[in-house]
Chains A and B, each alone.
Chain A
Amino acid sequence: MAATNIPTNAHAQEAPHVQHHATGDHHDEHEHHEGNFLTKYVFSTDHKVIAKQFLISGIFWAFIGATLSTIFRLQLGWPEATLEWLQPILGSWVEGGKLDPAFYLALVTMHGTIMVFFVLTAGLSGTFSNFLIPLQIGARDMASGFLNMLSYWFFFLSSVIMFISLFLETGPASAGWTIYPPLSALPQAIPGSGLGQTMWLVAMALFIVSSLLGSLNYITTIINLRTAGMSMAKLPLTIWSFFLTAILGVLSFPVLFSAALLLIFDRSFGTSFFLSDIYIGGEALNHVGGSPILFQHLFWFLGHPEVYIVIMPAMGIVSEVMATNARKPIFGYRAMIGSLLGISLLSFVVWAHHMFITGMNPFLGSVFMFLTLIIAVPSAVKTFNWLATLWRGNIRFTTAMLFAIGFVSLFISGGLTGIILGNAALDIQMHNTYFVVAHFHLVMGSSAFFGMFAGVYHWFPKMFGRMMDEKLGYVHFWLTITSAYLIFLPMHYVGIAGFPRRYYAWTGFEMFNQFADLNAFISIAAILAFFAQFVFLFNFIYSIFRGRRATENPWRSTTLEWTTPIEPGHGNWPGEIPAVYRWPYDYSKPGSESDFIPQNVPYSQTVSSNLPYEKEME
């Protein structure tokens, strides 16, 4: 608002002789322009609108990603069944009622790409970093609203390209979401490595631009635009997690960009960064001297921090939601920040645990095993702190709180098996089996989704001025957590038996002839999980328009976003930005009448509840 007023003022200063009423007219026109649908909802620089754009795009992508997984779960659950009824959607990919094996790989690839990048990076971090950073640190907007807008529209462009690639005749990228060359480099190897892979690489390059613009903005905003009194040690844990997530993104996404660039060179310009000694399609290729393993190093240098980029915002959201609804300070605030820092640091030095058996030097394997298992310690600390936060709380089961508790449960279940996979010796057997699939779907798939749901249910009133329906929320939660466990717990059994992932069917192997019934069971649970999400979709859309009206601070929370009007305009606070005096977790403080003291209440107003060291600040 301030920025857009400048031209008006400048105009007035340049031409002081202009009649007052003319300036007024101009101003009116300007105001009218402000309300323009295009600038308000489409090309908006308001962080709240951009957050909603990311959220709605993320929900769209989540349904696409889930649909893809439902299709391949049908294939895995009932390999003999005919899928002819899918012909209207899939066309020639189900010739004769059988899903094409190459298209199966395309489904798996796109499911992974969409879920990891478009939903759990852009949809989760994009939504909540944008929405909460200015509101919770007490800023009128991001440091650069324009770059922020660009960040969304680069993401949008990337989404359009990725979406179009789904409809190519040769299929979208099919080399797995990790796009290991040479498979991803050679169209002779799989049809999806033709135009589909090219569009994948272009879309991801744009995605990385979007992510970098966003992350730089988040970091700058948090460092520079905190309101008076908001020291780093008074930031809500959400902001800490977004801050560190953005730093991880800035440091690791460029490496993926370089890998993508080199791959583009190999694919299109005849270089040999990743290719060597290849005979395919009846001819020996001219590439020598490259290393496919080099690509894996570059890819996982992003790829591993990426899983923390996905999970850390969820951790922040859960900490915040849990403290609010347990009516208790988060246990070990400083330990929580410390463990986030520890995770961020270690996440850069564990990447090669994805590569123990690639032929990499076994000594490197030992080093990465050591570093990988160390990262379990800060994760354990976080879990214990959440449990301690619940202990002797006074818990209100809002839908957001249910999802926060579900997050902790899934994070434990999925995180613990990481101790097996991080052990290089045990990884010899478990690598690329369904044990891995079960592990990461619990620890970074489902639990990040749960964090995202907790965030949506919790901040929906601030986003749309209305409440989501609690009863539907309960149904959504219980269906989702039940089906998530029904899918992924049995998947461990399949993995322990050694079933390889990315298999179109296991029927060709004697050693994989068991578990046909269990695979059908998993597929049924996956379909249940898919349909349960429509409860959420209905609730979300219905509540935007018809939900119960929200109050200013419906969860009785301490953080700054709840001091804004019910539907904050561009600039967030109509008057002065509130100053901050205390940490964000003064819940149920002894001596205080209310069971929460917002951050903007000075100590002088809470004499009865001040702790000894707070007395001096009165």
Chain B
Amino acid sequence: MIALGILLALVLLLVVFGLLFRLQVLTSIFSGSYSREIGLSNRVNAILMLVFMVVGGGAFAYSFVANWDKMNPPIASVHGAHLERMFWTTMLIIGIVFVITQVALFVYSYRYQYREGRRAYFFAHNNKIEIIWTVIPAIVMSGLIFGGWKQWTSITGPAPKDSVVLEVVAKQFNWMVRYPGRDQQLGASNFRMIDATNEMGLDFNDQKNLDDFTASEIHVPKGHPVLLKIRSRDVLHAVYMPHFRVQMYAVPGMPTRFWFTPTKTTDEMRSQTGNPNFNYELACNQICGRGHFAMKLNIIVDEPDDYVAWYAQQKPFVEQNPEVLANLKQNQAGSVEEATAAAPAAIEAKASL
């Protein structure tokens, strides 16, 4: 009943608009404004151009300032700080161009509106200014390219040798994390070995896997380079960690990598933002299916000591899931103990972080 009423009201409203429109057409025919080629409306539009520029520009500036804090979440990596500086420098340059060109556009529109008896200035080209405004953008762009190129090569360059290495594996719709364990080496994996328990497809024929451990969150030490090795086991995903300015696709069949150095622990960030629940988060940023929007993983940045302590407490995957070794040969099972026995040495190595 209500829906019908709303529908009726809408129809009536449309009829009213239609009548008003017809009335306006008829009056303009009688008043003769239809036959005058350029009437009052030209002036009104010219003024609206100015109004649009001033009101629109003002509203833009106001909302930009008002939203400044919200659009600048804190940054917590070494290269992130560089990128942030470059981002806002570039924004400043394009902001200046934006203001100059938009003001010119709207002011010219207003200033050179039609006037009876005036004639436009026949000005077809001028080589000098054309060269100037080709060369200046070219120079500015070269500067920006150079800056960007330097950052890009250093960010994508090889990770430092002493980086903490961990593996992030994506699947529909969550993330899995693996650390190399005590031998500091990630074991091999094979997608044909994936099953309900061995979700990352670890190949236990490879001894290096025997001490690898998985985690439900990413732990990384502050102030130390971290190398992410990224895989996907089904469709494309992307590892996206906005606070660290980290993003890299996870591609099935093609492992990728990205390294960064965190600069603030989770605790420091909690006190800086005044939010006791603050957590670094990892999001999926490449469309991957129905649960795309909910692929989240927490990242904890620890003080190096806390990180080493946490690392030492973790139990290898095979120890927690002994059944994965059941169908492997007996002699290999024996080497699990060997690998576990090598533990203290590796912990010491880690302690030197």
Contacts and interface: CB of A to CB of B under 8 A. Distances in A.
Interface of A: 100-102, 105, 175-176, 180, 182-183, 186, 189-190, 275-280, 284, 288-293, 326-329, 331-335, 357-359, 362, 365-366, 369-370, 373-374, 376-377, 380-381, 383-385, 387-388, 390-397, 402, 405, 408-409, 412-413, 416-417, 419-420, 423-426, 428-429, 431-433, 469-472, 474, 478, 481-482, 485, 489-490, 493-494, 496-498, 500, 502-506, 508-512, 514-515, 518, 548, 585, 587-590, 595
B331 interface: no
Interface stretch (B180-188, B202-210, B274-282, B319-327): B274-282
Contact of B123 (A277, A328, A503, A515): A328
Contact of A412 (B46, B105, B125, B152): B105
A115 B291 CA distance: 25
A516 to B, nearest CB: 11
A416 B70 contact: no
Nearest to B110: A395
A482 B130 CA distance: 32
Given A357-B249, A359-B256, A493-B63, 18 more contacts: A175-B287, A182-B234, A277-B191, A289-B253, A326-B120, A387-B104, A390-B105, A390-B112, A394-B120, A409-B105, A412-B97, A413-B98, A472-B21, A474-B41, A489-B60, A500-B293, A509-B283, A595-B119
B246 A189 contact: no
A394 B285 contact: no
A433 to B, nearest CB: 8
Contact of A504 (B121, B155, B292): B292
Interface in B42-89: 42, 45-46, 48-49, 52, 56, 60, 63-64, 67, 70-73, 80, 83, 86-87
B249 A359 contact: yes
Contact of A183 (B52, B56, B105, B287): B287
Contact of A182 (B80, B138, B236): B236
Contact of B102 (A102, A370, A412, A588): A412
A510 B278 contact: yes
A361 to B, nearest CB: 9
B252 A277 contact: yes
21 contacts: A101-B291, A189-B289, A279-B201, A366-B153, A373-B148, A387-B105, A388-B129, A396-B114, A397-B113, A397-B114, A402-B45, A412-B105, A419-B144, A429-B83, A432-B238, A469-B25, A493-B71, A496-B71, A511-B281, A589-B122, A595-B120
Given A428-B246, A493-B70, A373 B141 contact: yes
A331 B234 contact: no
Contacts of B151: 425
Given A374-B141, A429-B87, A362 B246 contact: no
Contacts of B194: 279, 284
Contacts of B234: 182, 186, 189, 278-280
A608 to B, nearest CB: 13
Nearest to B45: A397
A370 to B, nearest CB: 6
Interface string B197-230: 0000100000000000000000000000000000
B94 interface: yes
A370 B238 contact: no
A425 B245 CA distance: 10
A515 B66 CA distance: 12
Contacts of B286: 180, 432
B156 A502 contact: no
B285 A432 contact: yes
A498 B125 contact: no
Contacts of B141: 373-374, 376-377, 419
B74 to A, nearest CB: 10
Contact of A279 (B101, B137, B233): B233
Contact of A405 (B70, B105, B119, B144): B105
Closest 3 CB pairs of A and B: A276-B253, A498-B242, A362-B156
B240 interface: yes
Contact of A278 (B49, B63, B233): B233
Contacts of A587: 120, 122
Given A331-B124, A585-B124, A105 B253 contact: no
Contacts of A396: 38, 42, 114
Given A387-B104, A426-B86, A395 B109 contact: yes
Contacts of B277: 510
Contact of B247 (A391, A419, A428, A510): A428
B293 to A, nearest CB: 4
A101 B293 contact: yes
B287 A180 contact: yes
Given A279-B233, A387-B105, A428-B246, A420 B91 contact: yes
A176 B236 CA distance: 12
Contacts of A482: 52, 56
A394 B111 CA distance: 9
B172 interface: yes
A79 to B, nearest CB: 10
B161 interface: no
B251 interface: yes
Nearest to A288: B253
Contacts of A376: 137, 141
Given A182-B234, A470-B41, A511-B281, A426 B287 contact: no
A293 B254 contact: yes
Nearest to A359: B256
Given A362-B152, A390-B108, A500-B283, A429 B247 contact: yes
